[in-house]
Chain A
Amino acid sequence: MSERCAVIGVGQTVAKAKREDVSIAGLVREAALAALDDAGLTFADIDAVVIGKAPDMFEGVMMPELYLAPALGAVGKPMFRVHTAGSVGGSTAIVAAHLVASGVHERVLTVAFEKQSDSDAMWALSVPQPFSAPLLAGAGGYFAPIIRAYMHRSGAPGDVGMMVAVKDRLHALKNPYAHLHLPDISLKMVEESIMLWDPLHYLESCPSSDGAAAMVIGSERAVGAATAETGRPPAWIHGMAMRSEPTMFAGRDQVNPQASRDCAADLYRQAGITNPRKDFDMAEVYVPFSWYEPMWLESLGFCDEGDGWKLTQSGATSMIENGDIPWNCSGGVLSSNPIGASGMLRFLESALQVRGLAGEHQVADARRALGQAYGGGSQFFAMWVVGAERP
Chain B
Amino acid sequence: MSRFPELTSGSRPVGVVSFAQYDNVRREGAHNEVEMLMPVVAEVFGSIGITKDDVGFICSGSTDYLVGGPFSFVTALDAVGVWPPRAESHVEMDGAWALYEAWVLLQEGEIDAALVYCFGRSSPGDLSEILALQLDPYYLAPLWPDPTSLAALQAQALIDSGKATEADFAAVASRSRRAALSNPKAQVAYDRTTEELLAEDYEVTPLRRHALPPLTDGAAAVVLAAGEKAYEWCERPAFITGIDHRIETHSIGARDLTVSPSTTLAGEKAGVGHKGVDVAELHAPYAHQELILAEALALDEGVSRNPSGGALAANPMMSAGLIRIGESAKAIWSGQAGRAVAHATSGPCLQQNLVCVLEGV
Contact = CB atoms under 8 A, between A and B. Distances in A.
Report A-B touching, CB under 8 Å.
yes
Interface of A: 1-2, 23-24, 54-70, 74-85, 91, 95, 98-99, 101-104, 118, 124-125, 127, 129, 241-247, 249, 257-259, 262-263, 266, 376, 379-380
Nearest to B93: A81
B108 A102 contact: yes
A372 to B, nearest CB: 15
Interface of B: 9-11, 58, 63-65, 68-71, 73-75, 77-78, 81-93, 97, 100-101, 104-105, 107-110, 130-131, 133-138, 141, 244-251, 261-262, 265, 346-348, 351-352
A344 to B, nearest CB: 15
B28 to A, nearest CB: 16
A81 B346 CA distance: 12
Given A62-B130, A62-B133, A259 B85 contact: yes
Contacts of B347: 63, 66
15 contacts: A2-B109, A60-B133, A61-B133, A62-B131, A63-B92, A66-B346, A67-B134, A70-B250, A76-B262, A80-B91, A84-B90, A127-B68, A127-B70, A242-B89, A246-B82
B87 A243 contact: yes
Given A69-B247, A242-B88, A62 B63 contact: yes
Given A80-B93, A81-B91, 4 more contacts: A80-B101, A95-B89, A101-B108, A245-B85
Given A1-B108, A102-B107, A258 B84 contact: yes
A296 to B, nearest CB: 16
A95 B108 CA distance: 13
B246 to A, nearest CB: 6
Contacts of A62: 63, 65, 130-131, 133-134
A25 to B, nearest CB: 9
A266 B85 CA distance: 12
Nearest to A247: B74
B90 A82 contact: yes
Contacts of A104: 9-10, 104, 107
Contact of A77 (B70, B71, B246): B246
A125 B137 CA distance: 20
Contact of B141 (A61, A124, A243, A245): A61
A63 B247 contact: no
